[in-house]
Amino acid sequence: MNIGFIGLGQMGAGMAACLLKAGHSVTVFNRTAGKADGLKEKGAKVVASSAEACRGEAVVTMLANDEAIEEIVFGKNGMLVSLPPKALHVSSSTISVSMSERLTAAHAISNQRFVAAPVFGRPEAAAAGQLFVIAGGEKSAIDAGLPIFEAIGQKTFRIADTPRTANLVKLSGNFLIAAVIESLGEAIALVAKGGVEPKQYVEILTSTIFNAPVYKTYGGLIAGGKFTPAGFAAPLGQKDIRLTLEAADRLGVPLPIANVLRDRFISLLAHGGQELDWSAIGQLAAKDAALIVNEAASALSIRT
């Protein structure tokens, strides 16, 4: 397939590389030009405007937020005018449910096809083509996107005929991961103040009832107190909880744990956590408990 790819961050660069590896012809665009260099070596065509990336059968977007996709799609020379009729827009970004609805309506009016296909997986999974794809959209549109999904992911779930449903599921997944981070942060603060070494505690948890990657990854980060460089930056985590709460507000679903997470992200960022991994909210329970850990005795670098 002749595929455009817009958004070459940590996730996007890996996904675009997988498309190349699968034999597709890939035209890439990123606002910051340097990010495309590695892909050029792998055979990608690098273009200077997003419009030039919209001339194939399909274009994939992997952007940071609603504002970025708004500019790319609805802006001057945006996708609505530059993408050919019947061509497919695959939006893999984690965007709001309402933006997904706007995209669905706008592409329909422009006689273009649209699939929301957010993914589960960290940058390493993206690089390895091992993502999980949650696809929402009309059957024929998802069918058209299958070669793309197969190149970037290990499994594709057809969740609904409506693209927005895929975005909702993606947001709910990030909410669940953030809930793991916060609950681990609370539990670690509790046992650490009771005298247990955080790393040993995480080792016990993850070798028994919580033998799962998400607990190992985030338990390790919190117990180790190491939140840079960010695998997934705190402002992105905050955005996802905000979008989850917005969707919940519209659907009429109270989410008490999401509220706790909302406050944690606000507090983290108010204290200057913009560059930290989102798992840094997992240290705030200890901070509220005035837990001062001796670095010689423990690696939990939490200070009040």
Residue 48 DSSP class: S
For residue 82 the two structure tokens come to 């530059």
Residues in 87-126 at the binding interface with a second copy, rule: CB under 8 A: 97, 120-121
Pick the closest to residue 116 from 60, 57, 67 (CA basis): 60
For residue 298 the two structure tokens come to 């423990």
Given 127, 190, 236, 299, the residue binding a second copy (CB under 8 A): 190
With respect to a second copy, which residue has the nearer C-beta, 128 or 190? 190
Question: Going by DSSP bridges, is the β-strand pair 25-29/2-6 parallel, antiparallel, or unpaired?
Answer: parallel
Given 34, 85, 213, 229, the residue binding a second copy (CB under 8 A): 213
Residues in 153-172 at the binding interface with a second copy, rule: CB under 8 A: 155, 157, 159-160, 162, 164-165, 168-169, 172
Amino acid at 2: N
Given 41, 109, 256, 296, the residue binding a second copy (CB under 8 A): 256
DSSP conformation letters of 146-201: HHHHHHHEEEEEEEESSHHHHHHHHHHHHHHHHHHHHHHHHHHHHHHHTT--HHHH
Q: Which of 86, 155, 170, 239 is catalytic?
A: 170
Given 59, 141, 151, 187, the residue binding a second copy (CB under 8 A): 187
With respect to a second copy, which residue has the nearer C-beta, 16 or 171? 171
Residues in 283-302 at the binding interface with a second copy, rule: CB under 8 A: 285-286, 288-291
Given 201, 218, 227, 278, the residue binding a second copy (CB under 8 A): 201
Residue 214 binds to a second copy (criterion: CB under 8 A): yes
Report, in Å, the least distance between residue 304 CB and a second copy.
Answer: 7
For residue 195 the two structure tokens come to 């005298």
Please tell me the count of residues contacting a second copy according to CB under 8 A.
Answer: 77
For residue 262 the two structure tokens come to 């909302």
Sketch the per residue contact string, 233 through 252, with a second copy: x for CB under 8 A, - otherwise. ---------x-x--xxx-xx
Given 11, 80, 117, 255, the residue binding a second copy (CB under 8 A): 255
For residue 54 the two structure tokens come to 């919209």
If one counts every other C-beta atom within 10 angstroms of the C-beta of residue 230, the result is 19
Secondary structure of residue 132 in the 3-state scheme: strand
Report, in Å, the least distance between residue 259 CB and a second copy.
Answer: 4
Does 199 qualify as catalytic in the annotation? no
Angstrom distances, CA of residue 69 to CA of 78, 79, 121, 254: 10, 10, 21, 28
Would you please indicate which residues are annotated as catalytic (active-site) residues? 170
